[in-house]
């Protein structure tokens, strides 16, 4: 080979390597956490030659290499869409790429991003693709719908005239989506366009979902739900996390709903978000997943909504036995026998049909197994002609449901009133019922003896006393079952959710036995007056001390007083993967695990702690004495723990089981298992404290009995 030819080949190889290094450098900037990190790479992408773009699209076509070019191309297109001149560059590159790629993923990706550019050239290309009767035409219809310009809608409407039956439903759904106006401020009027009644709109979305013909239509409905904030919207979206064609978009919408509303709490919310988290994908997946994980860690378990009906069977419900006063007079044996008979009858009177809880028209009330006091409740209901039903609160009639055409019975006043009241208001303030055979929505709040009812988003009962129907000389019962009234006509229920409202006075009183034994309360449920330390990281919320990571890294909260020998009783609630500690006989400064003693408080079952040393698990004296495992309650439930220190002896009881009973001196006489110096093991007195690690943990019902008072210094 001639030297000149060899030199040319070497030069070409060098140029190719430089070009490859350049592409690799650009692609490694994605995904990014801050736009400033990726901006130089985005700017450099505008200078790439056609051969370099060809390599990027080749990677996009390769299942094993498509992640980086997906992020890079998406970022580039969104940047290009900001200006007319850059849009022209972006559309040219996308059209060139579309002609090159062959995989479903790559073609669908480029079609979506033609919708992001949204200029005339993009609309022209997408319009031509509408003729394709495969997924290509469907994807093009969705992309045109996202543009929402007059020319994009016109292209869809023109295509609809010429479409086949196969194409028609997809194009119709795209047109409906394109014409749907989301709440926003318009430049022309400067007026905010809002959904006038969010409750009614969500009911309509649920009806539309039942008749939707294809995934495009269903996705459009889910996207509308994103603009109706609140718990009920989240539950609606969460139902589609199992539907293959919808689950990824449903997960994104659920995440955004949760992140935009910090009031959402409880197990039902957690269940939806835990299901959504692994489904989140797309350009912003990494950032969104990180935010959602943090949100999940902080969501309280208590006082949130829980489902009352699983859509499958009558679990959590039972048949009716008498009334609250009559039931109290029955012996336990009599009540059990009567309940068994009532439950057998209820199974034929109340049925589950297509996910609905339905009263067949014969039989008696259906009751919750659990008794409730102060509650907030959501429920959808539907009746037929001449329908008559109601919801009993604390076992007492009733929030009324009926067909407003029944003028002979006075039903023209509407549903939602406290029908059986005599002294207090019984009629609703307005008629807010939807027509029979259509769904209605109750939002019921009962606090103390007063009831508030919203029907289809309109307040119809405002803080009215519910009278005791069974004995009008008595106030309403403090706690009783909730009942769905059976009144001889068909009624169906769905979306039944309830949350218990914490009382205004969250103080946990000592029992008479504890008082006689000499226990005193360390926390009254409302303030931290007996505590010192990190009061920004430890806050009082719903009658508990809660670690708030936003107030710092966690920090330590100590008793103001020092203790020597004592018996401490408290309850704690963990969140997934949570870590905390109980410091005992500790000074206020230094690492309590060494200068005092730290008793581990830990989510033992979390996978992140699978490889800890035995002395690091819950209840262990950290680094020194391991505790028995397997007695913690499931994450989110309240655990009861007792800690007894007497001289050198320490005993820990978790949920009624002794998990550690040891002599501190004997455990360390030959050195501690962690082979660290633990001078605090010799302490005779010190503070008691919670040792935070930046995780959400809650504590309540904290009381202590001094066995040997600490000597005054």
Distance CA 146, CA 536 (A): 45
Task: Say whether pLDDT at 145 is over 90.
Answer: no
Task: Say whether pLDDT at 204 is over 90.
Answer: yes
Helices vs. strands in the chain: H and E counts, helices first: 21, 28
Task: Say whether pLDDT at 114 is over 60.
Answer: yes
Residue 185 is predicted with a pLDDT of 32
Average of per-residue pLDDT across 656-684: 91
Residue 11 is predicted with a pLDDT of 46
Asked if residues 361 and 489 have their Cβ atoms less than 8 Å apart, the reply is yes
Give the angle subtended at the CA of 24 by the CAs of 18 and 27, to the nearest 5°: 140
Least confident of 245-259, 280-294, 379-393, 694-708: 280-294
Asked if residues 408 and 400 have their Cβ atoms less than 8 Å apart, the reply is no
- Name the CA dihedral angle for 26, 31, 34, 40, rounded to a multiple of 10 degrees: 10
- Picking from 607, 561, 603, 596, the residue whose alpha carbon sits closest to that of residue 691 is 596
pLDDT grade for 5, boundaries at 50, 70 and 90: low
For the residues of 325-375, what is the DSSP string, one character each? HHHHTS-HHHHHHHHHHHHHHHHHHEEEETTEEEE-SSS--EEEEEEESSE
Task: Say whether pLDDT at 563 is over 70.
Answer: yes
Average of per-residue pLDDT across 327-354: 94
Can you read off the two tokens belonging to residue 99?
């002609």
% of the chain surpassing 90 pLDDT: 62
Q: How many residues does the chain have?
A: 713
Asked if residues 495 and 358 have their Cβ atoms less than 8 Å apart, the reply is no
Task: Say whether pLDDT at 709 is over 90.
Answer: no
CATH number for the domain running over 512-708? 2.60.120.560
* pLDDT tens string 12-48: 444 444 445 778 888 887 766 566 777 888 899 999 9
Give Cα separations from 129 to 169, 177, 382 (angstroms): 16, 19, 44
Residue 16 is predicted with a pLDDT of 47
Can you read off the two tokens belonging to residue 71?
């992020």
For the residues of 181-234, what is the DSSP string, one character each? --SEE-TTT--EE--S-HHHHHHHHHHHHHH--SHHHHHHHHHHHTTS-SHHHH
Task: Say whether pLDDT at 150 is over 70.
Answer: yes
Task: Say whether pLDDT at 9 is over 70.
Answer: no
pLDDT grade for 661, boundaries at 50, 70 and 90: very high
- Picking from 468, 285, 270, 305, the residue whose alpha carbon sits closest to that of residue 377 is 305
Task: Say whether pLDDT at 184 is over 60.
Answer: no
Give Cα separations from 63 to 67, 98, 386, 440 (angstroms): 8, 17, 60, 48
Distance CA 377, CA 399 (A): 12
Residue 17 is predicted with a pLDDT of 42
* pLDDT tens string 622-656: 999 999 999 999 988 999 999 999 999 999 999 99
What pTM, to 2 d.p., does this model score?
0.70
pLDDT grade for 79, boundaries at 50, 70 and 90: confident
Query: In CATH terms, are 3-185 and 317-500 the same topology?
Result: no
* pLDDT tens string 41-57: 889 999 999 999 999 99
Residue 445 is predicted with a pLDDT of 97
- Picking from 431, 378, 409, the residue whose alpha carbon sits closest to that of residue 489 is 409
Average of per-residue pLDDT across 558-566: 95
Burial class (CB in 10 A: 0-12, 13-18, 19+), 10: exposed
Average of per-residue pLDDT across 298-323: 92
Residue 131 is predicted with a pLDDT of 87
**In the 8-state DSSP scheme, what is residue 537?**
T
The total of other beta-carbon atoms located within 10 Å of residue 88's CB is 14
Distance CA 444, CA 441 (A): 10
* pLDDT tens string 454-471: 999 999 999 999 999 999
CATH topology of domain 317-500: Jelly Rolls (2.60.120)
Task: Say whether pLDDT at 520 is over 70.
Answer: yes
Task: Say whether pLDDT at 142 is over 90.
Answer: no
Asked if residues 269 and 305 have their Cβ atoms less than 8 Å apart, the reply is yes
Asked if residues 578 and 603 have their Cβ atoms less than 8 Å apart, the reply is yes
* pLDDT tens string 585-601: 999 999 999 999 999 99
**In the 8-state DSSP scheme, what is residue 418?**
B
| H-helix segments, 540-689 | 592-595, 664-668
* 3-state secondary structure at position 104: helix
Average of per-residue pLDDT across 505-528: 84
Domain boundaries, the chain: 3-185, 192-304, 317-500, 512-708
- Terminal-residue alpha carbon distance, the chain: 95
Residue 66 is predicted with a pLDDT of 83
* pLDDT tens string 361-419: 889 999 999 999 999 999 999 999 999 999 999 999 999 999 999 999 999 999 999 99
Residue 195 is predicted with a pLDDT of 63
> Does CATH number 1.10.287 belong to domain 3-185?
no
Average of per-residue pLDDT across 302-320: 94
Can you read off the two tokens belonging to residue 79?
């940047």
pLDDT grade for 288, boundaries at 50, 70 and 90: confident
**In the 8-state DSSP scheme, what is residue 175?**
H
How confident is the prediction for the chain on average, in pLDDT? 88
Task: Say whether pLDDT at 203 is over 80.
Answer: yes
């Amino acid at each position: 080979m001639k030297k000149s030819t060899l030199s040319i080949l070497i030069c070409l190889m060098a140029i190719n390597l430089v070009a490859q290094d350049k592409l690799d450098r650009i692609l490694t900037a994605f995904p990014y956490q801050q736009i400033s990190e990726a901006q130089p790479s985005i700017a450099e992408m505008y200078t790439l030659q056609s051969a370099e773009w060809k390599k990027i699209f080749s990677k996009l076509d390769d299942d094993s290499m498509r992640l980086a070019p997906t992020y890079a191309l998406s970022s580039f297109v969104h940047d290009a869409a900001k200006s007319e001149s850059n849009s022209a560059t972006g559309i040219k590159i996308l059209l060139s790429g579309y002609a090159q790629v062959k995989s479903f993923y790559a073609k669908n990706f480029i079609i979506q991003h033609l919708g992001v550019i949204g200029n005339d050239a993009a609309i022209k290309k997408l319009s031509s693709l509408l003729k394709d009767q495969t997924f290509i035409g469907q994807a093009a219809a969705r992309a045109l719908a996202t543009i929402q310009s007059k020319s994009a809608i016109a292209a869809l409407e023109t295509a609809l005239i010429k479409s086949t039956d196969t194409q028609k439903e997809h194009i119709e759904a795209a047109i409906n989506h394109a014409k749907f106006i989301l709440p926003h401020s318009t430049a022309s009027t400067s007026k905010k366009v809002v959904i006038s009644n969010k409750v009614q709109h969500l009911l309509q979305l649920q009806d539309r979902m039942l008749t939707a013909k294809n995934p495009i239509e269903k996705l459009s409905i889910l996207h509308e739900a994103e603009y109706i904030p609140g718990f009920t919207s989240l539950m609606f979206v969460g139902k589609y996390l199992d539907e293959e064609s919808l689950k990824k978009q449903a997960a994104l919408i659920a995440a955004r709903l949760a992140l935009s509303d910090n009031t959402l709490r409880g197990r039902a919310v957690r269940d939806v978000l835990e299901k959504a988290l692994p489904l989140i994908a797309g350009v912003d997946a990494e950032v969104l997943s990180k935010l959602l994980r943090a949100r999940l860690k902080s969501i309280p378990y208590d006082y949130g909504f829980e489902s009352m009906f699983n859509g499958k069977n009558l679990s959590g419900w039972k048949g009716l036995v008498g009334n609250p006063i009559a039931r109290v007079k029955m012996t336990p044996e009599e009540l059990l026998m009567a309940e068994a008979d009532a439950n057998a009858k209820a199974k034929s009177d109340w049925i589950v049909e297509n996910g609905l809880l339905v009263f067949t028209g014969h039989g008696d009330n259906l009751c919750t197994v659990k008794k409730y006091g102060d509650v907030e409740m959501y429920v959808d209901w539907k009746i037929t002609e001449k329908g008559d039903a109601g919801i009993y609160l604390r076992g007492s009639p009733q929030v009324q449901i009926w067909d407003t055409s029944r003028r002979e019975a006075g039903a023209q006043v509407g549903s939602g009133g406290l029908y059986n009241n005599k002294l207090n208001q019984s009629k609703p303030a307005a008629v807010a019922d939807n027509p029979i055979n259509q769904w209605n929505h109750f939002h019921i709040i009962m606090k103390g003896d007063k009831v508030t009812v919203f029907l289809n988003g309109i307040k119809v009962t405002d803080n009215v006393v519910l009278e005791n129907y069974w004995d009008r000389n008595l106030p309403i019962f403090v706690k009783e079952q909730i009942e769905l009234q059976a009144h001889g006509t068909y009624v169906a229920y769905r979306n039944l959710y309830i949350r218990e409202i914490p009382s205004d006075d969250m103080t946990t009183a000592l029992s008479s036995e504890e008082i006689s034994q000499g226990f005193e309360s360390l926390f009254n449920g409302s303030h931290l007056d007996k505590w010192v330390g990190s009061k920004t990281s430890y806050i009082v919320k719903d009658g508990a001390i809660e670690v708030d990571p936003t107030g710092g890294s966690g920090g330590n909260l100590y008793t103001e007083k020092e203790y020597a020998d004592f018996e401490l009783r408290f309850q704690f609630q963990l969140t997934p993967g949570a870590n905390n500690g109980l410091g005992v006989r500790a000074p206020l400064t230094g690492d309590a695990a060494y200068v005092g003693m730290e008793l581990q408080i830990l989510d033992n079952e979390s996978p992140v702690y699978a490889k800890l040393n035995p002395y690091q698990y819950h209840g262990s004296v950290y680094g020194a004495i391991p505790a028995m495992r397997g007695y913690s309650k499931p994450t989110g439930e309240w655990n009861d723990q007792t800690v007894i220190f007497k001289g050198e002896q320490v005993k820990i009881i978790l949920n009624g089981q002794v998990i550690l009973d040891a002599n501190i001196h004997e455990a360390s006489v030959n050195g501690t298992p962690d082979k660290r110096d633990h001078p605090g093991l010799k302490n005779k007195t010190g503070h008691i404290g919670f040792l935070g690690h930046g995780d959400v943990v809650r504590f309540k019902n904290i009381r202590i009995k001094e066995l040997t008072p600490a000597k005054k210094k």
